[in-house]
Amino acid sequence: MRCGVAIDLGTSGYRAQKIDLDTEEIRRTVITLRNPLPGANVMDHMDFAIHYGQDLAHGLSINAVKNLFQALDVKSEELERLSICGNPIQLSIFQGISIEDLAYAGERKKKKYNIQEQDRSARIVHSSEIPGFDEYDCEVVVPPAIKHEVGADALALIIKSGMLDSDEISIATDYGTNAEMALKVKDIIYTGSAAAGPALEGQQIRHGNLASPYTISDFEFENGGLRNYILSEEMKSVPGDIIDPSTGEILKEGQIKAKGITGTGVIALIEKGIECGLIELPKIKTPDGLIHMQNRMDFSEKDLTEAGKAIGAIRAGHITLCSTAGIEMADIDTAYMAGAAGTYMDAAKAQKIGLIPYATGKIFQLGNTSLAVAREILLSEKRLWELQDIASQIIGTHIMFATAPEFRDVYVLELAYWEEGMPFKMFKKYLKKKGLPELGEPIQNPIIEKRVERDIPVLGEEGLHVLERVGTYMTMIVDCPECKKCIKVCPTGAISIDEENRVMISTDLCEGAHCQRCIRACPPEKFNWENLEVFKQKLQE
């Protein structure tokens, strides 16, 4: 079989498909539940690469892709073509391209350090041109960015939504860790990335999980209890148990067990909790401060805060784009939702809590647009150059939310609302006081069209395979006493030390820049991340 592989290099995890290049049929789909780089978001990944070496970050990404090949049952001799899609940071790290032009926003800083913008146009290169990938003999197909900071994933979102073909004011959002978003007003596309964090993809939530089989994806109140809806092995929603949310008592058993909750489940739980009075921000109004789910899982006030920060970041991004474009939130006619969260989320519930502009009357759910584009350019070189032409023609205005005063002002209000219990009337009052776009009034019964049933519509005849662990490690030899403090302080169990004093850090479990407890617990001359190397070990069967 002439074999090709399409990969979405996502911030929260990689998604890959093995494809028969002769028949163009998808044979197998593999997803990871985490990214191989330490950290939970793109800023963590960028920080890690800048501070500890882009070669180290590149090696982890390459090893993760090799592990995907093994899980896809792809042999090096049969691989003819590989295509990738994702944000500029993930694509650059995989290719071994410098990310310094993405890391520093200020032009004066770039000039001071002589940082040059990298060319991120569409390209096809041989695998031997990518460091660490020379054992393969295949083409690597890379889609274009719109601008150096507006990547191929944003282009995929814009194109697959169809917003370019409409005169309506529309907004498209990938509800993932980076929360890429694009607002179209007349012929101008306004883009931004809210770096919302992984809560909407089920991470940084105690029982959270990326959308995968046996995870809770939705809730409804039914017969006096909370009905859990769970994704099956085919990634279809199946009724689970009905639970008393205050006590955890099973009121009625369902058809399926659960191992975690997705970000979409979190959104549904918050909306239902607010609706019935279980949640009065920032508190959960149950005797133990927990909302109980099936299989003895629960949702805490800490989980609520994490989710609130993510929801707030996305709404702040929407408001900032509207402010830049000079429109009100109520002017947006159509909203497009992409990514796993955007697919499995109940759109009506999402709109009620502010993830979609309140007054928007038409909502379309698109699935994983990044993987869809990776598959298109794998099968058609012509499509790759079409995308380059489209990217070159888009009149784009990118807003760097990190430096935008509008985003700062709105996000402060969002934190006050979600974490401090600021009344919503006061929230809206302060928006008006600062001259920011108003939210508009909630619409009744918006038109919702789900274009796909799953975020990855076709899994292939060999089905979906989930890698619970990415299988990438960093390692170094330490000369330490037997205190094992680094192991004790690690909150995720990412660290182990063998009999030869070799430290092994499971990079997908490591929380990276926003943790680093191991570094603070140990003497720097003993435990220094700058001594870490990529451990070249293939995924175990």
Looking at the predicted structure, is the pLDDT value of residue 539 above 50? no
CA-to-CA distance for 116 and 111, rounded, in angstroms? 8
CATH class of 154-197+305-371+395-450: alpha beta
- Please tell me which residue, 235 or 299, carries the higher pLDDT value: 299
In whole angstroms, how far apart are CA 539 and each of 167, 188, 469, 498, 506?
Answer: 49, 45, 9, 19, 12
CA-to-CA distance for 375 and 257, rounded, in angstroms? 33
CA-to-CA distance for 445 and 362, rounded, in angstroms? 10
Label residue 212 by pLDDT band (50, 70, 90).
confident
Mean pLDDT of 139-163: 92
**Does residue 323 sit in helix, strand or coil?**
helix
User: 199 with 208: CB under 8 angstroms?
Assistant: yes
User: 359 with 335: CB under 8 angstroms?
Assistant: no
pTM given for the model: 0.89
pLDDT in tens, 513-532: 878 899 999 888 888 888 99
- Enumerate the CATH 3.30.70.20 domain ranges in the chain, comma separated: 473-534
Q: Per CATH, is 3-148+456-467 categorized as 3.30.230.10?
A: no
pLDDT in tens, 235-271: 889 999 999 999 999 999 998 999 999 999 999 999 9
Across 63-138, the runs of DSSP E, i.e. the strands, are 79-86, 123-126
pLDDT in tens, 421-435: 999 999 999 999 999
The phi and psi torsions of 40 (rounded to 5 degrees) equal -110, -5
Label residue 341 by pLDDT band (50, 70, 90).
confident
User: 477 with 471: CB under 8 angstroms?
Assistant: no
- Enumerate the CATH 3.30.420.480 domain ranges in the chain, comma separated: 3-148+456-467
DSSP letter string, 11-42: SS-EEEEEEETTT--EEEEEEESS-SSSSSSH
pLDDT in tens, 88-129: 999 999 999 999 988 876 677 777 778 888 999 999 999 999
Q: Which two tokens stand for residue 490?
A: 């690690």
- Enumerate the CATH 3.30.420.40 domain ranges in the chain, comma separated: 154-197+305-371+395-450
Starting from the edge strand earliest in sequence, which strands make up the sheet with 260-261, in order? 250-252, 237-243, 225-231, 215-222, 260-261
Query: Which residues have C-beta within 8 Å of that of residue 381, sequence separation ≥ 6?
Result: 124, 141
Label residue 68 by pLDDT band (50, 70, 90).
very high
CA-to-CA distance for 532 and 37, rounded, in angstroms? 13
Mean pLDDT of 273-297: 96
* Residue type for position 290: L
Q: Please give the pLDDT value at position 106.
A: 66
If residue 51 lies in a helix (H) or strand (E), which one and from where to where?
A: helix 42-52
Q: Per CATH, is 473-534 categorized as 3.30.70.20?
A: yes
Buried b / exposed e along 141-153 (16+ C-beta atoms within 10 A)? bbbbbbbebbbbb
CA-to-CA distance for 80 and 59, rounded, in angstroms? 22
Looking at the predicted structure, is the pLDDT value of residue 497 above 70? yes
